[in-house]
Chains A and B, each alone.
Chain A
Amino acid sequence: MNLESMYQEIILDHYRRPTHAGLREPFEAQVHHINPTCGDEVTLRVHLEGADGGTADERTDAGSVVVADVSYEAQGCSISQASTSVMADLVVGERLDTALRLHGEFVELMQSRGKLERDHESMEESLGDAVAFTGVAQYPARVKCALLGWMALKDAAAAALEHHGTPARVGNEETV
């Protein structure tokens, strides 16, 4: 019986009661990601603020902005729904560079087929509830489900940084 290893209680809880769900304002970028093999979809928005609490307007690097909000509307299986909810829980309030590091660690975990060198404890320290998806990594067909929201986050964050950065640069050029 492997079902319980995939569908940990934490996952089922997030599936039934997703956190940060719904689309909210303000936001700097919105992306729409689809898993073409199964039709799961997520529309995800990111709102960034300056790390010191001010607006993020002229900050263009991930270390100087904070993920102030992640909001989303998603349709899909329990794994994709729960993973997006856990992701939002983890990254909201974190500096963007931290959020992107977590993204990298989660992708690594998901692509490990359950054979990661790193020990569970240190993984849990950074990834928190997201380590519950370790069991999913053993099912290659479901890895994309777990990654759907995280990939949307990465894309949206890049677009949001661009949104902040580009106008600032354009503004400078215009004043020259």
Chain B
Amino acid sequence: MNVHKFSVNVATPDRTIVSIKDYPVYDNHITFLFGESGIGKSLISKALYGLLDTSELTVTINDIPYADHLKSKWLTDSRANSFFVFQEPSSHLNPLMKISEQLNEGSLDCGNERDILEYLWQHSYDDTLDTILDVYPKPYRPSGGEKQRILLTMAFKKIQALIDQNDRDLSTYFVFDEPTGSLDNRYRNLFLRLLLDRYCKRQFTAVIITHDYSIISEIYNQYKSLVPYIHFKELSRVDTTEVRVDDFSADDYLSWLHSSRWSTVHSNVQKKPVLEFGADFSIFSRNLRIYQDKEHTQPSPLIIDKGSIVYLKAPSGVGKTTIAKIILGIYKADSFSMMLCEKKYSQNTHQSVWAKRVWGKQAGMVFQHADESLDLQATVKETFDGLSTRMKNDLDTLLGQLFAPRTIEAIRHKKTALLSGGQKQRLNLLRTLALKTDLVIFDEPLNGLDFANVKKVLELLNQLRMNGTAILMISHNEEIFEALIDEENILYLAEVT
């Protein structure tokens, strides 16, 4: 196995953004790259692929100027046979060109995409696929998941072309940046199966940037024979700009997963419902129902006792975040009934009641996107200044739950915008936890975290639960939460047709 090692440095005129030494690219192997959001995974990959704009950035690769790297044999040879799947499919696609044309544009004009599309859609090539391919990409048409699969189709066309050429000497470097971010587990597994199936036909170099640790279990369960050809790596921070790459131990993750289960709270917490939400409700003219079984046969109200956790599952877009926002009075449902801390709420309750009684006192919520829900122009300290709970002296203790003491000093007076994605997410969590409310709703609390922080956050949530807080969990990390939470505390949300 041939390994290329790269030292990458990316800087603006004012500061260094990211710097890494000995970043490995394994020839004809697949590397899964983990690490917290904003640490530089995409930036390093784009730098190596030759995609950075040098009018704003100074880039050096192995201490040589970027222009020389762009002309290097490794890059020119690799790029000719490879593809970069960007994290945000909407920004990749040309809004003024039909998708069918984009699938055959430039170097993609190399064979037929029909089989790949049918596989990724699990659909025969009928009117449905024709309709999707015959449109100009717009923000909501096709959906995010469909756009992601279109980009994957482009990458798989290049892989297929490679297989068809049957030349073992061709150099490759595929990058998939969060390729499954908008896909549910079923489509995620289809992508993985197609990728590894093609890999068996013709080995190629690929780096897959992801936060989805359940890919590890899938590989170990379904494709164990390929494990020698697969690397799991994790980026971690050395200081504010320098990062390093380490092996990510798949065994550690799997053993942690199998040994983790949150025990039921018995002794010190009295069983008392904090939240009772009726099984049926409607909003935006849609009727939704909560079930206690995944077959959707037994409707069940959502009841969360003091010191317990309920995990609410549903496919993307059904309304998990919507129900959270109804509970907190942000959305006005057409009809619903709810008891929160022994007070009744319905569609007739005025929003001011939530403002007076609930927000920051009885219930809190950690929103899905830390970037949107924090004031990015405020400092870390200012993030906590407006909370109803005064915590001038406790700020260090609070931050200490998820940040190292050295980091706290460095970030206390720093603008939130300058924190990494993972740090923002931890701040987002701590702001709500500082309130000490009876109910906390977590919407994707593990977004953007590295594995060490995933474990820390889960430990903190368990502690919170043990102390009597009722928790409603919404997350696409099904594997982790199904391992942690008893089956009886998992509910399912579905639309009633």
Partners in one complex: no
Q: Hey, which bits of chain B sit against chain A, CB under 8 A?
A: none
